[in-house]
Amino acid sequence: MSTSAMRDSDIRIGLHRELERAHRHYASETLFIDELGLCQGNARIDLAVVNGSLSGYEIKSERDTLQRLPHQVEVYSRALDNVTIVASESHIDKTIGLIPEWWGVIATVPDDGEIAFRLVRQQQINPGVDPYSVAQLLWRSEVVMILDDLGIKKGVAGRSRRVLWQTLTDTLPIDELRDCVRRTLKVRERWRVDLPQMSDGGSFQCDAT
C-alpha cells in the first residue's frame, strides 16, 4: 500500500487494532468510541479511548487537508485528557506547527501492503481541561441521575441541559467530574452502531445522536 492509497477508513481500522493490542490487559476496563461528539457536536474526534483517562485520536490521511485542524484543536483541547494526531508523513511537519506541545503525534507509514505507525511525539496530559466541556459529554438523563445520587436533584431535574451541566460542574471538583464522566460512558448502553463492520467481524461503537 502506497502512502497516497491510505484511506481514512484503513488507518482507522489499523489504529483501532493497535490500540486494542496496547490495552489488551485492560480490555474489560477500556471502551473504544468512534466519532465521539464533543461540545454538543461542535467537533467529533475520530477515535476516543476511555479507561483511566479520556484519550482522543484524530486521523489525517494523505487525502485530508489540515483546514479544520485549528478548530479541532480548540474543541478537543477543552474536553479530552490527552490527544494524539495520527497523520501521513507528508502532514507531520505542518501538523506539529498547528497543535499544542502536549498533543501526541503518530505518523502512518506503508509496510508491505499494510499500515504501520511510527511514534513521533508522546502525548502528555492536557493542562487546560474545561470542566463544563467535560460535563457536556453526558446525556441529560445521566446528569439528572448523577445529581440525584449526589442528593441535589431537587429543583434542577426540570431545568435545561445547560443548567444541569453547569450544576454538575459547580458541584464536583474537576478530577471527580472526569472520573464520573468516564464511568458513565463505560456503562452507557444505547450507543448508535452504524459504521461498517471491521474486517475481523467486530464493529466500532459510535457516539449516539
Query: What are the tens digits of pLDDT across the range 123-144?
Result: 999 999 999 999 999 999 999 9
In a domain, 204, yes or no: no
Residue 174 sits in which domain range?
131-187
Query: 93 and 136: one domain?
Result: no
One domain for residues 65 and 162: no
Could you read off the pLDDT of 96-130 as tens digits, one per residue?
Answer: 999 999 999 999 987 777 789 999 999 999 999 99
- Whether residue 82 is found in the same domain as residue 182: no
The verdict on 80 and 99 lying in the same domain is: yes
Q: Is 140 within 8 Å of 164 (Cβ atoms)?
A: yes
Enter the pTM of the model.
Answer: 0.86
Question: Helix or strand or coil: residue 110?
Answer: strand
Claim to verify: residue 23 and residue 92 sit in the same structural domain: yes
Same domain, 97 and 10: yes
What is the average per-residue pLDDT within 160-164?
A: 92
Strand segments (E) across 92-136: 104-111, 114-121
CA distance linking residue 172 with residue 163, whole number of Å: 14
Cell 479507561 sits at which residue?
51
Shared-domain flag, residues 85 and 99: yes
Q: Please indicate, yes or no, if residue 195 is contained in any of the structural domains.
A: no
79 domain-assigned:
yes
Q: Is residue 120 part of a domain?
A: yes
Please name the residues in contact with 131: beta carbons below 8 A apart, sequence gap of 6 or more: 169, 174, 177
Please say whether the beta carbons of 160 and 136 come within 8 A.
Answer: no
How many domains does one find in the chain?
2
Please give the pLDDT value at position 107. Answer: 95
Q: Give the three-class secondary structure for 130.
A: coil
Place of cell 446528569: 143
Please check whether residues 64 and 85 belong to one and the same domain: yes
149-153 average pLDDT score: 85
The domain boundary, picked from 108, 127, 146, lies at: 127
Contact yes or no for 134/81 (Cβ under 8 A): no
User: Can you name the residues that pair with 117 across neighbouring β-strands?
Assistant: 108
What digits encode the pLDDT tens for the residues 179-196?
A: 999 999 999 887 654 333
pLDDT for position 105? 97
Residue 207 is assigned to a structural domain of this protein: no
pLDDT in tens, 68-81: 999 999 999 999 99
